Structure 1
């Protein structure tokens, strides 16, 4: 049964585009991780300033293996030897964990 990990990132109202840009620059970085099933970056469409990073994993072990991996550390580093340090965009973040308890496939047409 898949598990869902949601990173709720609160950003200043004028920083959402920068957050999206940074995620776009790393698109596909986790795709080949064992147990990874999918990713979505959700942008608020109202006055909220909390963006959601939704990932789906085969199981908790797969997520934990990725979150303690070198690839995770490199992808989340604030600076590297090749580029100047980037200030964090988020003011705060919170990790939420869920399992699928029900749902439907929807209309596939």
Structure 2
């Protein structure tokens, strides 16, 4: 499974979404920009998308909610361990109230993985972020198998982007 991302104005991306209404796409926005994602087994019709392979997934993407994209740069040497940890994660997030879906995205053109989660709303995400389960899920990421902090695998700081999927009925 592949996932493609295109950035632009809401109006421009909405036209693309409408033109390809038979495809699995979701448009979302924040104060800075709008983002259109296209999840498919095939190629995307976007001109210059950010391209990812879905390496772990749970839940179904839907056209409403609150999206959190954790962007994590990983060195080539760090990729196997990073992916191993996500593929063998405890799955605690799936039991969080308001959780809808997660996609772990391997970059095809850059070094930055994206962990994309979809929530019923921002309140549900904040509830997860402030939970004991969140602390437990993120505690192991800070340490390698020998207990040492492993910063060598991350060439730059990670960053988070948050989006809202607009309710088109209003």
TM-score computed with the length of structure 1 as normaliser: 0.79
Match of 1:60 in 2: 122
Q: Distance in 2 between matches of 1:84 and 1:66?
A: 28
- For the residue of structure 1 that corresponds to 2:94, the secondary structure is coil
Match of 1:5 in 2: 68
Match of 2:78 in 1: 15
Match of 1:97 in 2: 162
Deviation at 1:84, TM superposition (A): 4.1
- For the residue of structure 2 that corresponds to 1:18, the secondary structure is helix
Structure (1 or 2) with the larger CA radius of gyration = 2
Match of 1:38 in 2: 101
Q: Distance in 1 between matches of 2:154 and 2:82?
A: 8
Gaps of 5+ in 2: 1-63
Q: Distance in 2 between matches of 1:93 and 1:30?
A: 20
Q: Distance in 1 between matches of 2:136 and 2:97?
A: 17
Q: 1:2 to 1:42 in 2, by over 3 A?
A: same
Larger relative contact order (Cα-Cα within 8 Å, sequence gap ≥ 6): 1
State the superposition RMSD in angstroms: 1.9
TM-score computed with the length of structure 2 as normaliser: 0.53
Gaps of 5+ in 1: 103-109
Query: More strand by proportion, 1 or 2?
Result: 2
